[in-house]
Amino acid sequence: MILVTGGAGFIGANFVLDWLAATGEPVVNLDKLTYAGNLENLQALDGDGRHVFVRDDICARPLVDALLARHRPRAIVHFAAESHVDRSIHGPDEFMRTNVEGTFTLLEAARAYWNGLAGTDRDAFRFLHVSTDEVYGSLGPGDPPFAETNPYQPNSPYSASKAAADHLVRAWHHTYGLPVLTTNCSNNYGPYQFPEKLIPLVIANALAGKPLPIYGDGMNVRDWLYVGDHCAAIRAVLAGGRRGETYNIGGWNEMPNLTIVKTICTLLDEMKPDSGGRYERLITFVADRPGHDRRYAIDARKIERELAWRPAETFETGIRKTVHWYLEHQDWVAHVQSGAYREWVQKNYGGRE
């Protein structure tokens, strides 16, 4: 079996569902259930003995030690993190604790556990660390996309905390020989994404007739990958990635934010027409995010060359599925828009022009 951290969040939950469907191999899922963690994401696994959920903190070393001793996983896939850039700007503390200290704690627990393994169990063990393209900093319009060899230049508290974690993972391999793998992926979208991130926020606001907030001029560029493709890439890296290597994962799909938002509006006009008019009327330019990175792009040729992974979805197919999912799961959206969510919206958008 494998141990997954953060498996009740957006990508982690998609991964657990995808993993069990694709491999059937049991999963122990360690998640603290912060505001971003939600067991409703895993409802399809109720009563499924292959999924063991443990609500706890990755910073709790004795707990992690006990879990490893009890379940004896062949791999750890580490998603747990604070993941939202805007929240890291308002309050970086939890980012340092979970992303840096939490990764350190897991590495130390994994090292002790791995040192106690022998023979093929020891050879086969892997620690896969899920990271982001944001560690590489921001690109100019004509720059080539990020390769695995790009220097690290993180610009936000979030990306700095992820970069710190990536460095720890690298050092635990170099110094202690821990068999690690790191993946650096671009912006994900798809089912179960918390509506603080651009795509689900825009869908939820449009359906509620609320403004669609665009930071700055809307021309910041991201590379977008459907979450199911990210899950498949992680499976490929876990199965065949070389120890100590990093793999960039991306969708070959760079787009400015304004194009993303207009695409969603057009799909909603088709799938859920609004008697008040076209959804684009709700687009509202607001004050920019401090330190807002201008452009991310991913060179994903290494994972294609070594592991034969390429995204299966185009942006057109992935975004259509995603809008459809949110239309079909408005209960899910309503449940996560709790009091705490409303406080966040007030904090992040209340002061913007």
Q: Which is nearer to ligand TDX, 67 or 303 (CB)?
A: 303
Of the candidates 113, 136, 158, 279, the residue annotated as catalytic is 158
Q: Which is nearer to ligand NAD, 226 or 279 (CB)?
A: 226
- Chosen from ligand NAD, ligand TDX, none, partner binding at 6 (C-beta under 5 to 8 Å by type): ligand NAD
Kindly list the distances between the CA atom of residue 64 and the CA atoms of 73, 109, 154, 190, in Å, as whole numbers in the listed order. Answer: 12, 7, 29, 30
Distance CA 26, CA 53 (A): 11
* Edge-to-edge order in the sheet of strand 180-185: 51-55, 27-31, 2-5, 75-78, 126-132, 180-185, 246-249
By CB under 6 A, the count of residues binding ligand NAD is 29
Q: Does residue 17 bind ligand TDX (CB under 6 A)?
A: no
Q: Does residue 136 bind ligand NAD (CB under 6 A)?
A: no
- Chosen from ligand TDX, ligand NAD, none, partner binding at 9 (C-beta under 5 to 8 Å by type): ligand NAD
Token pair, residue 327, equals 């239309």
Q: Does residue 10 bind ligand NAD (CB under 6 A)?
A: yes
In the region spanning residues 259 to 298, those forming contacts with ligand TDX, defined by CB under 6 A, are: 289
The helix or strand, by DSSP H or E, that contains position 30, with its residue range, turns out to be strand 27-31
- Beta bridge partners of residue 295, listed in sequence order: 221
Q: How far is the CB of 176 from ligand NAD (least distance, A)?
A: 22
The DSSP 8-state label assigned to residue 143 in this structure reads: S
The DSSP 8-state label assigned to residue 312 in this structure reads: S
Which phi and psi (to 5°) does residue 198 adopt?
Answer: -50, -55
Among left, alpha and beta (phi > 0; psi -120 to 50; other), residue 26 is: beta
Q: Does residue 85 bind ligand TDX (CB under 6 A)?
A: yes
Q: Does residue 33 bind ligand NAD (CB under 6 A)?
A: yes
Distance CA 261, CA 253 (A): 15
Q: Which is nearer to ligand NAD, 170 or 272 (CB)?
A: 170
Q: Does residue 188 bind ligand NAD (CB under 6 A)?
A: yes
- Beta bridge partners of residue 228, listed in sequence order: none
Q: How far is the CB of 247 from ligand NAD (least distance, A)?
A: 12
86 is catalytic: no
Q: Which is nearer to ligand NAD, 129 or 173 (CB)?
A: 129
The helix or strand, by DSSP H or E, that contains position 220, with its residue range, turns out to be none
Q: How far is the CB of 326 from ligand NAD (least distance, A)?
A: 15
105 Cβ neighbours under 8 A, 6+ residues apart: 58, 59, 60, 61, 64
* Edge-to-edge order in the sheet of strand 221-226: 187-189, 221-226, 254-256
Of the candidates 82, 134, 293, 313, the residue annotated as catalytic is 134
254 is catalytic: no
Q: CB 155: neighbour CB atoms within 10 A?
A: 18
| Three-state secondary structure readout of 122-141 | HHHCEEEEEEEHHHHCCCCC
User: 249-288 mask for ligand NAD (x: CB under 6 A)?
Assistant: ----------------------------------------
Interface residue with ligand TDX among 6, 190, 191, 213 (CB under 6 A) is 213
The region of 80-88, 89-97, 275-283, 331-339 touching ligand TDX under the rule CB under 6 A is 80-88
Q: How far is the CB of 252 from ligand TDX (least distance, A)?
A: 16
Residues marked active site are found at: 133-134, 158
- Residues of the shown chain interacting with ligand TDX in the complex, contacts defined by CB under 6 A: 83-85, 132, 134, 187, 197-198, 201, 213-215, 220, 222, 257, 289
- Residues of the shown chain interacting with ligand NAD in the complex, contacts defined by CB under 6 A: 5-6, 8-12, 31-34, 36-37, 57-59, 79-81, 83, 98, 102, 130, 132, 162, 185, 187-188, 194
